[in-house]
Amino acid sequence: AQSVTQLGSHVSVSEGALVLLRCNYSSSVPPYLFWYVQYPNQGLQLLLKYTTGATLVKGINGFEAEFKKSETSFHLTKPSAHMSDAAEYFCAVKTGANSKLTFGKGITLSVRP
């Protein structure tokens, strides 16, 4: 079975500050890991993904995430928050082709001026 844990439901940062959104996964096989962003009243947008290879992956809008197998983590970071980053962020895991995508409960990111 696969699962995703996103601790906390809300993170608030100041504009220009570091963004760190935590994600831990559970999987019996090597996982594929994803971060999605959802802006209010909009659909899901893929930020980045890890499948194989380099463990530090870069995505859109300046976000990146590092796959750490030993810690079963895939935390999302951005060096400098922008007001436009305010949204809901979902971590998700998949355990291979033809397997389902399982989402974490999501984290709301607020950015203070």
**Longest CA pairwise span in the chain (Å):** 43
Q: How far is the CB of 46 from other proteins (least distance, A)?
A: 7
Which residues of this protein are in contact with other proteins, per CB under 8 A?
32, 34, 43-44, 46, 49, 51, 90, 94, 96-98, 100-106
Nearest to 14 by CA among 61, 80, 62: 80
Q: How far is the CB of 33 from other proteins (least distance, A)?
A: 10
Q: Which is nearer to other proteins, 51 or 61 (CB)?
A: 51
Q: How far is the CB of 55 from other proteins (least distance, A)?
A: 16
Q: Which is nearer to other proteins, 51 or 84 (CB)?
A: 51
Q: Which is nearer to other proteins, 8 or 16 (CB)?
A: 8
Q: How far is the CB of 80 from other proteins (least distance, A)?
A: 27
Phi, psi of 86 (to 5 degrees): -65, 120
